[in-house]
């Protein structure tokens, strides 16, 4: 079962990227054990919708929320040989 998560400024959520789900109110990023839930009209949702594409499926990613207006959330791929450390 996935844990619904939110992240504060300068916090990072790390996991294996699976998919994105969008409806009228929420934007959800599905990681292996977590689901990051944002409002669908947020700046963070717009950035993630543009950056997290299917090419990231199965990759270990870090989602870092910032307090920078021009970069509200950053995505990074984390090279990891062993996914068991998740």
Given CATH 2.40.50, say whether it is the number of domain 3-85: yes
Distance of CA 6 to the CA centre of its chain: 10
> Taking 50 as the threshold, does the pLDDT of residue 2 lie above it?
yes
Give this prediction's pTM.
0.84
pLDDT (average), residues 20-29 = 95
Could you report the per-residue pLDDT of 43-68, keeping only the tens digit for each? 999 999 999 988 899 999 999 999 99
Mean pLDDT, the chain, rounded, equals 90
Position 86 confidence tier, pLDDT thresholds 50, 70, 90: very low
């Amino acid at each position: 079962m996935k844990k619904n998560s939110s992240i504060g400024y300068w916090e990072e959520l790390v996991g294996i990227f699976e998919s994105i789900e969008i409806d009228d109110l929420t934007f959800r990023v599905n990681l292996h054990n977590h689901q990051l839930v944002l409002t669908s009209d947020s700046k963070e949702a717009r950035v993630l919708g543009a950056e997290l594409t299917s090419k990231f499926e199965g990759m270990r990613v870090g989602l870092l929320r910032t307090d920078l207006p021009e970069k509200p959330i950053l995505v990074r791929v984390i090279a990891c040989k062993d996914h068991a450390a998740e």
